[in-house]
Every structure is written in structure tokens, then in C-alpha cells.
Chains A and B, each alone.
Chain A
Amino acid sequence: MTMISVTINNKVYGPLEVDPEVKMTDFLHEYVNLTGTKFGCGQGICQACTIIVDNEDGTSDTVRTCITNAMVFNGKKLRTIEGHAKTSKTGEIIALHPVQEAFVNNFSFQCGWCTSGFTNKTVALVEKLKRQPIAKDQVQKIIETELKDHVCRCTGYVKYYKAVKELILSTEGATV
């Protein structure tokens, strides 16, 4: 057993006693009751379980939680699908995150299993572009590069990619 503390969506969890064999998806579901992160293939292929790790230098990484165990995240600052929308003091959602809004407007997903992974990856991508803007004609290419590993079995990617493209092009400071 090992003790871990993590900050998830600005809330501190722990110290909690965790078995080194516990995967981060199980930790999120079973230990802190955050069930929005989906367990898909269980071997790091489909990316459904992707969450965001915020680094101290202001950059972010995305990590697959089905192949990374909980204790690796000890002391780290994380964001999951539950942390993006604005909520009221009573916990009700009052506004979706622009990425979520774009996916809803474009009917990007159907069953929703891949959505938490797509959302986290896109949030991290848009934030990265705000720090390091790219030319408008490079947007399609960067979407295809960054999101190519995310698997969706319902809508065939077109609506996801369209939503992300629209969002990046309309986000101030993401393109030059």
C-alpha cells in the first residue's frame, strides 16, 4: 500500500491509501467517485480514458489512465471531464466549456464513450495553441495529428474534427 494525494479539478483528494496495482481509471471511479472518465480498451489504444495533467510551468500533458496507475499521479494537478463546465454553487451546470459546446453543436458524438477523452485532448490542444498560435492553414493538419489516436465508433470523426476546427478558428489567439 502507498499513500497518495492528488488535486483533481481544483479539489484536493487524500492522503488516500492505495494499492500500487490500482489503475488511475479505477481510482477515479472507485476512490473519488469521478465516473465521467471512461474505461475503453484497457490497453492504451482507444484514448477514451485520457485526462489532463497540469504541469507547474503552465503547460499540460494528456495521460491515458487505463495504463497508468494511480500512484504515478501523487502530488499532481489533474483535470477530468467533470472539471470543464461552469457550475453553480449548488453544483448545477450553468455553462458548458467551449469545447463541449462545439461538440454538442456539431452532433460530434453519439454513444458518448469516447467523448471525455476527445474533450480533454481538445481542451489541452486549444490551450496549447493559445500559448503557441499556428497559421490558419495548419489547423486541419494539427487536428489530424493530435486527435488521430482517439477512437470513435459512432460518428466517424468528421463531426469531431469539424467541431474542433471551427472552435480553433474562432478562438482568439489560437491562430495567427
Chain B
Amino acid sequence: MQKIASLAIIFAISPTVMATTDNELINKGKYLSQLADCYACHTATGGEPYAGGLSFKTPFGVIYSTNITSDKTQGIGDYSFEDFDRAMRHGVAPKGNLYPAMPYTSFDKITQEDMRALYVYFMNTKPSSQANLDNDVMFPANIRLGLKGWNLLNHKPQEFAADNSKSDSWNRGNYILNSFGHCGECHTPRDMTMAMDHSKHYQGAMIGNVWAPDITSQSLIEQGWSSQDIKDLLGTGYSRKGTVVGEMYTAIYHSLSKFDEQDLHASAVYLLDSDEDVPGKPLTFNAQANTGEGYQLYMGYCASCHGIEGEGKPNFAPGLAGNESLAHENSINLLVATLYGIKPQFYSTLVSFDAMPGYDNKLNDEELTNLVNYLKAAFTNSTIRFTVKEMGVLRKEVEGNQENAAH
């Protein structure tokens, strides 16, 4: 009788114990899925979570993200762990090769343990029967077999290995940003075969009409980023050094803002390559630049929102003094913002920035040159100045990019 009672207790407890373990695993998987920002690509605007259908305009045609809910027919509910692992790590799904728009070239670094948590989470998402859309890709990219060749050439899956000469935080930062975070997919330039050029890790690359900036530790330190600036930008979308817009805004909204305090710290440690708190540099404002047409144009069109000394307005317009996009040698983003404006950005229930109008039809090449040269002289330590001719060439390039922009 006692034995039966004991068995009864075991059976009564076991499912609870299992559920707790599963719940823990599911929660861990959910957090990791947020680090990887699966939602942003696999959810169409206004669509069901993870049901796919978001379009990606590539040089080879339009690719649609797929349904990755736990639905067994349209989603990935019938995947075994091995199927899931192979898709994530090797880019090979049960139905064929994935396009490298899916960042399996970064996800290969995910550890087995974390991959299992992700798998359990995705097997427990709300199923959606939304059918997958056919990609509209031109020859030869429409031959999926070709991707096997691409993988052979460019993808050598390698699980993350810690660098023992570095701290735990640095290694954690390296792990989450280069596997889940897949930062390099945008910030690392690509070679002739469209694979990430690892010799130029994080050195910046064009994404559609904007430049995903150089985020090497050398560049960030040189630009005056502090550890706190990095945490502010990644955690909230805005910082002393500027705000994020476009694709990075989506990455912050769905992913980076969900990082816990330790992972945010680890990210700052890794990005600045420093375990010590980096103090950053003071913001730049050179009053002696306040002369000439550029100054007058700034005062006329920009100062009301960005401030007479480039200090900005809280919750309205970011400061320009010390602004990252202004200071960079690459001035594409500066021109895109000035000419075409910026959509309003909502970072949280308490913090948002208003829309910036575009000045494409208000500034001719000479005025644009004077304005940009003033911005560089007044709010950065950069010695770069443009001639009207150079600015005309850059403006044409930006206009071309704008017409071909992916989104």
C-alpha cells in the first residue's frame, strides 16, 4: 500500500517537475529568440507572430520569410531537433537549402545547449496555418542547388569557442553578438560572392540606402563612445551619440531592448574591447565655426530642433554635437537624413523623437556643401570638408541608392 502511495506521489509530481523544466527551457528559448531577433524577419507587418511573409528585396529578386510557428503543415512543428539544428547551423532545411538571408552563417556559433532551448521554444509557439509565399528570384539564384556550392565555398559551421585570454563578459558579448545578434550580417562588408568578409569584421557596409556604420572597437573609441553610450543605444535606441533609425530601429525594438542587464554589459565590454568602464569623449561644439552660409542655413532650417549649439531637444530631436553619423568619414547617412528626412521614432512609451523633414528640394549642391561642412566643423572633430563637385557626386550616389532602397 505504501509502495502504491509512493508511486502515486511520483506520478503526481512528475508532470509538474517536467512542466517546470520545460517552462524554464521555453523561457530560455524565448529570450534567446529575442537575442536572435527572429520575430523581425519572420513576422509580416500586422501579421501573425512568426508566420512569415515579410518580403526582402535582394539584387536577385524578392525573397519571403517563412512560417516558423509550431504548425505542423505550414510551420516547423514537424521538425526534429536535428532538422532544426541543421537549418539553423548549416542553412539546410528538410525541404531544401535556405537562402543566406537567413543568417545561418552567424547562427552556426550557437551552442548545442542554447540551440535545444530555442528548439523547445519554437515547438511551443502558437501555430499559424499561414501558407508560405513563393520566392520571386531570378536565374541562377532560383536554383537552390547552387546554394550548396555557396555553402561549400563560404560556410564552415563552427560552434562558438571562448577566448581564454579574455574575460567572461567579453566572451559572452562576443558569443551573443556574433551568433544570435548576427550584427556582422549588416556591419561586416561582403566580398564578391556576397559572403561576410571576416578580415573586415564590423568595419561597416551599405544596407540598402544607408550605411551600417563601422562598429569596430577602434572606431567606437575614436568616435568617443562610452560604455554607457553603448548600453543606452542598444538598450533604448537613443544615446548621447545619436539615435537609431531604419532597420537598426527594428533590431532595437524587437531584440536589443530585450537584452538583460548582464548581456547589455557584455555587449558593451565586447564592442569597446574593454572590461573597464570606458568614459567616452565630451561632445563637440566649436563656436568659431559659426560663420558663413553653412552657419546661416543651419540656423535657418535646423537650429530650432537640433539646438543653437547642437544640443537637440529631449524627446523631440537628437543632439548633433558629437553625433556619430556626422563625425564619420562616410557621410552617406548624414546626406540621407538631410535630403530625405527621418520617420518619427517611438523608442518606448516615454521616449520618442519626431519626424525630420527632408530638405532635398530646398538645398542646391552648393548650399548642401556649405551646410554639411558647417555641421562637420561645428559638431565634430573631423577635418573632412567637401567641395561642391564632390558633394554633387555623393548626392547622385545617395539619390541612386534611395531609388533602389530595399525597404
Contact across chains for B300 and A66 when beta carbons are under 8 A apart: no
Contact across chains for B354 and A45 when beta carbons are under 8 A apart: yes
Instruction: Say whether chain B's binding surface is mostly helix, strand, loop, or mixed.
Output: helix
Q: How long is the Cα–Cα vector from A42 to B307 in the complex, in angstroms?
A: 12
Q: How long is the Cα–Cα vector from A20 to B303 in the complex, in angstroms?
A: 10
Check A128 for interface membership: any CB of B closer than 8 A: no
Q: How long is the Cα–Cα vector from A68 to B316 in the complex, in angstroms?
A: 16
With a CB–CB cut-off of 8 A, which chain B residues contact A72?
300-301
B299, B304, B354: the one contacting A66 at CB < 8 Å is: B304
Q: How long is the Cα–Cα vector from A71 to B303 in the complex, in angstroms?
A: 13
With a CB–CB cut-off of 8 A, which chain B residues contact A45?
354
Contact across chains for B354 and A67 when beta carbons are under 8 A apart: no
Closest to A66 in B: B304
With contact pairs A66-B304, A69-B304 given, residues A43 and B296 touching in the complex (Cβ less than 8 Å): no
Contact across chains for A67 and B296 when beta carbons are under 8 A apart: no
Q: How long is the Cα–Cα vector from A67 to B299 in the complex, in angstroms?
A: 10
B300, B304, B317: the one contacting A20 at CB < 8 Å is: B300
Check B295 for interface membership: any CB of A closer than 8 A: yes
With a CB–CB cut-off of 8 A, which chain B residues contact A66?
304
With a CB–CB cut-off of 8 A, which chain A residues contact B304?
23, 42-44, 66-69
With contact pairs A67-B305, A68-B304 given, residues A20 and B296 touching in the complex (Cβ less than 8 Å): yes
Check B308 for interface membership: any CB of A closer than 8 A: yes
With contact pairs A43-B305, A43-B354, A44-B305 given, residues A68 and B300 touching in the complex (Cβ less than 8 Å): yes
Q: How long is the Cα–Cα vector from A2 to B354 in the complex, in angstroms?
A: 30
Nearest chain A CB to B112 CB, angstrom units: 52
With contact pairs A43-B316, A43-B354, A45-B354 given, residues A20 and B305 touching in the complex (Cβ less than 8 Å): no
What 1/0 flags go to A149-167 for Cβ under 8 Å of B?
0000000000000000000
Check A21 for interface membership: any CB of B closer than 8 A: yes
With a CB–CB cut-off of 8 A, which chain A residues contact B296?
2, 20, 71
With a CB–CB cut-off of 8 A, which chain B residues contact A67?
304-305
Of residues 1 to 53 in A, which have CB atoms within 8 Å of B's CB atoms? Answer: 2, 20-21, 23, 42-45
A residues contacting B by CB (< 8 A) are 2, 20-21, 23, 42-45, 66-69, 71-72
Query: What would 24 A/B residue contacts be, using CB atoms closer than 8 Å?
Result: A2-B296, A20-B295, A20-B299, A20-B300, A21-B299, A43-B304, A43-B305, A43-B316, A43-B317, A44-B354, A45-B354, A66-B304, A67-B304, A67-B305, A68-B300, A68-B301, A69-B299, A69-B300, A69-B301, A69-B303, A71-B296, A71-B300, A72-B300, A72-B301
User: Closest 5 A-B residue pairs measured CB to CB?
Assistant: A72-B300, A67-B304, A20-B299, A69-B300, A69-B299
